[in-house]
Each structure stands twice: as C-alpha cells, then as structure tokens.
Chains A and B, each alone.
Chain A
C-alpha cells in the first residue's frame, strides 16, 4: 500500500559485519565509555547533611505567619480548609479575650489548627485562598516519621517563632 504521508521509510536489516559479530570492538568502546565515568564528579547530594538549593517558588512545609507586631494573622475563616483538595486542614475557631490582643490580630483566631502531612499534596491552594496572608508553604521538606499520628502537625509545629524583642 502506498504511504499517504510520504514519510514512510523502509529500513533494511543488514547482516552483521565481522567486526560486529566479534563483539570485541563494541565491548572495548563500551568499556572505555564507562571507564571515563570513573573520573567524573558524582551527581549525588548527601541529603541530610547537604541540601540542594530550592527554587524560590518551591512549596514545602507550611508555616502560619505573624504580623509585624508578632500577632498571629490567622483568623480561622476556614477558607484554606475549604480550598484544600486533599482535605488535609482542620481547625477550631475561638473568640479572642480582651487580654489576648497582643497574641491574635483579629477578634477570632484558630484555637487548634492541624494539617495532616500525609494527606497534603503541597498544591499551594491554601496559600492562595488565605485572605489574611497567614499561611505560606515556604518551609523545608516534611521529614519522615514512624507513626501516622506524628504526621498531623498542630500549631506548635506550624506557627512561626515569636518575634525577638
């Protein structure tokens, strides 16, 4: 049948030449190629000790931000939990007391805030949904652990360190 596209190419299989049937020329060529790799620099990064530099838009571990006075920005609106396609985020809201004004920026805050790192797919939608600029995925790689319960990160792991006075 004629080819419609005119791109059809008939390849003929030639019998091996004597050199090819001896294997030896090809083997020496292969050996010299692998030998040259002995002297090349290893591409390995010794991970826990050395870390590869991340790109600036890398999405790693979440952190809950504080404002310039050191108050937690999160107001427990729940938009992050709603936007999360993996349903990794849960939170319980609470009302701010009068003597807690230096701790929380808005009248409502997250009493507990938990992200299940086994569910999280690090898509960054929570970051985009947040109206208060309270959550960012700017941390390192989430470390390995032994138990499932240890992958549920609470506020003690997520909230930024308080500002140094």
Chain B
C-alpha cells in the first residue's frame, strides 16, 4: 500500500463525506421548495437569491438555540443517540461506486472507497444499525411519546428489512455477486436491473421509504400523534442531527436504489461517449448521470411525502407482513424458475 493510495482514498472519503452533507443540507431546502411548489406556494425565498442561503440560516439557528437535556433522561445515551444516527447514516456511502475508474495520467483511480465483496450485506448491516440511533434517543429521553416512537421505529424497520432482504435475493439470483462494483458493471449501457426485476424494485423502494422513516411510513415521528416522536425531547443541534440524518439516509437509499436497479453510472450511449472523450472525462459524465438519478429519487421521495397521507399502524404492519413479504417470496420463486429455464435451453 503506497502513500499515493492512502492520499487518494483519503481525498475520496473527504469528498464523499462533504458531498453527502452538502446534499443533505440542500435536501432540507429542496424539501421545502418542492412542498411549496406542489401546494401552489413559493417556499423560502428570503435568505439570498431564491432562498439559496436558507440551509445556512437554519444551521445557525440550530446552533444558537438553547440546549435542553431532560433531568430524568439517561444523559449519556441521550447524547449518543443523535451521533449514532448521524454516524450510521454517513458510513453506508463507503461501498457505493460513484463512477467508473478515472485514468489520470497513468494512474487509475477507483471512485469507490472500498470494493468489499459483500457490499450489499454491508449496506444492509449499516442500514439496520440506523434504527439504534432512533431507539437509543427515544428510550433515553424518558418520555412516553419518545418511547412509543422508538418502539414503532424498531418494529417497522425489522418488518420491512425482511421484505427488503427478500427482494434483494431475487436480484442476487440474476447478478451472482454481492459486490456493488460488479453489480453496476453488469448493468452496462441500458441493461438496468429494473428492467428484469420491476417487482423487486417496487418492493425495495417501498421498503426504502419505510427504512428511512419517510412519509407515508413516517410513523416514528408523526407530529399529530406523537408530538415529534423520538426527538420530542431534543433541541438545538441534537435535533438538527436527527433531522439531518434522515436526509442523509434519503440520499444514501437513493444512491443504493440507483446502483442496484437503475444502472448506477451507466447510461445508454456510454460506449460512444467513452470512445470520444477518453478515460478521464467519460467517467465524470457517468458520475453526473449517477447523481442525476439520485436527485430524481430524492425528488420522488419528496413528491410522495407531499402526496400520500400517513399509513395507520396496523395498515403498515399488514402491508409489510401480508403484502410485501409474500410478494417478495413469489418474486424469488418466479425469478429462480425463469433463470433455470433460460439456462437449460
């Protein structure tokens, strides 16, 4: 391992971290703008031109607010909660391939922090850790509403993780690998997995909504029933961390959906672009396409949030256990049978 490799990875990690935070920051702005446009309003437009500086103003506000730690809370866990939520949201980006390798001079730089051969499992592991931040925060608050919300979050995540895992199995039958890099490479051009696994993608997407606690599955923080849910007792930047973690989660799940099902950085006509622009600039265009897909998903997340009302708790459980899990299993069987038939003949 030479020094250049370490520096290269360090820069990549820093850039990805910075970009995730920046996108999460502007997701809060985009959320308010999208909500406004969908409701025939204008949204925030006072801070800077078109309200571009709104996230900064919000951030400053969060830092300046008084910080209150409830006297009866578990102080230590109360402080760990938001940090854990943030940490688990950030580390999932390590295995996502952000673009095909770039050749600068005679060095080939991989745009993926690490290509572990169980990348899909890593993401699942990290995403399921994400609920700990919510649970610990909700429990440590020593508040009925927070605890209820933490319990809801935990049971919701566990229920939907099963359907999510099952939907991925059907995908893995097709790809024969757990490495995200290879899964993306297999979707060269327009051979995107969503064309072969539309039902699997649908299940995965619904589960992603549930895992990120976004509407219509935002039961852990539903304002009307649980005040603020698990972050009822939180104030100042601790609250900011929780809200921020949700947007980073949204960004990461969009990236994972784009990687697994929508071809990552692949796009039709990429071979022609690669031939004309060379190996330095073509991968960057691929990365731009990848981010375009991510932004489309983030917009979809918001669009759905401002359209569909929240599910009732029993409806949520019904959908998860009686709807998505049997559907995912059926999807695995059909996929398996079709693959067996295609390989045989």
Inter-subunit contact A37/B40 (CB<8 Å): yes
Closest residue of A by beta carbon distance from B202: A24
Tell me, in angstroms, the Cα distance from A40 to B39 when the chains sit together.
9
Tell me, in angstroms, the Cα distance from A27 to B303 when the chains sit together.
11
B267 within 8 A of A: no
The segment out of A28-36, A67-75, A87-95, A107-115 that lies at the interface is A28-36
Tell me, in angstroms, the Cα distance from A38 to B39 when the chains sit together.
8
Least distance between A32 CB and chain B CB atoms (Å): 9
Write the B10-50 contact mask toward A (1 if CB under 8 angstroms, else 0).
00000000000000000000000000111111100100000
Tell me, in angstroms, the Cα distance from A35 to B37 when the chains sit together.
9
Contact among A31, A34, A37, A46 with B42 in the assembled complex (CB-CB below 8 Å)? A46
A144 within 8 A of B: no
Closest residue of A by beta carbon distance from B206: A23
Inter-subunit contact A30/B308 (CB<8 Å): yes
Closest residue of B by beta carbon distance from A32: B307
Tell me, in angstroms, the Cα distance from A49 to B226 when the chains sit together.
39
Least distance between A7 CB and chain B CB atoms (Å): 31
Q: A41 to chain B: which residues have CB within 8 Å?
A: 40
Contact among B40, B304, B306, B308 with A42 in the assembled complex (CB-CB below 8 Å)? B40
Write the A1-44 contact mask toward B (1 if CB under 8 angstroms, else 0).
00000000000000000000001000100110111011011111
Inter-subunit contact B37/A38 (CB<8 Å): yes
Q: A35 to chain B: which residues have CB within 8 Å?
A: 38, 303
Inter-subunit contact A43/B41 (CB<8 Å): yes
Least distance between B322 CB and chain A CB atoms (Å): 10
Inter-subunit contact A34/B306 (CB<8 Å): yes
Query: Of residues 34 to 67 in A, which have CB atoms within 8 Å of B's CB atoms?
Result: 34-35, 37-38, 40-44, 46
Closest residue of A by beta carbon distance from B315: A23
Query: What secondary structure prevails in chain B residues at the interface with A?
Result: loop
Tell me, in angstroms, the Cα distance from A46 to B44 when the chains sit together.
11
Known contacts: A42-B42, A44-B42, A46-B42. The answer to whether A31 contacts B303 by CB under 8 A is: yes
Tell me, in angstroms, the Cα distance from A34 to B306 when the chains sit together.
8
Least distance between B180 CB and chain A CB atoms (Å): 28
Q: B40 to chain A: which residues have CB within 8 Å?
A: 37, 40-43
Tell me, in angstroms, the Cα distance from A37 to B45 when the chains sit together.
19
Contact among A30, A33, A37, A46 with B37 in the assembled complex (CB-CB below 8 Å)? A37
Write the B246-282 contact mask toward A (1 if CB under 8 angstroms, else 0).
0000000000000000000000000000000000000
Contact among A34, A40, A44 with B307 in the assembled complex (CB-CB below 8 Å)? A34
Contact among B37, B39, B307 with A31 in the assembled complex (CB-CB below 8 Å)? B307
Tell me, in angstroms, the Cα distance from A130 to B147 when the chains sit together.
63
Query: Of residues 123 to 153 in A, which have CB atoms within 8 Å of B's CB atoms?
Result: none
Closest residue of A by beta carbon distance from B304: A31
Tell me, in angstroms, the Cα distance from A31 to B308 when the chains sit together.
8
Tell me, in angstroms, the Cα distance from A105 to B211 when the chains sit together.
77
Contact among A27, A40, A43, A46 with B308 in the assembled complex (CB-CB below 8 Å)? A27
Write the B280-316 contact mask toward A (1 if CB under 8 angstroms, else 0).
0000000000000000000000011011100000000
Q: B307 to chain A: which residues have CB within 8 Å?
A: 27, 30-31, 33-34
Q: B45 to chain A: which residues have CB within 8 Å?
A: 46
Q: B38 to chain A: which residues have CB within 8 Å?
A: 34-35, 37-38
Closest residue of B by beta carbon distance from A27: B308
Q: B306 to chain A: which residues have CB within 8 Å?
A: 34
Least distance between A5 CB and chain B CB atoms (Å): 34
Given A30-B308, A35-B38, A41-B40, output 7 extra A-B contacts at Cβ < 8 Å.
A31-B304, A34-B303, A35-B303, A37-B40, A38-B37, A43-B40, A43-B41
Chain B contact residues, CB within 8 Å of chain A: 36-42, 45, 303-304, 306-308, 319
A-B interface, 9 closest residue pairs, ranked by CB to CB distance from nearest? A44-B42, A34-B307, A30-B307, A34-B38, A42-B42, A43-B40, A38-B37, A40-B40, A37-B38
Q: What are 24 sample pairs from A and B whose C-beta atoms fall under 8 A apart? A: A23-B319, A27-B308, A30-B307, A30-B308, A31-B303, A31-B304, A31-B307, A33-B307, A34-B38, A34-B303, A34-B306, A34-B307, A37-B38, A37-B40, A38-B38, A40-B40, A41-B40, A42-B37, A42-B40, A42-B42, A43-B40, A44-B41, A46-B42, A46-B45
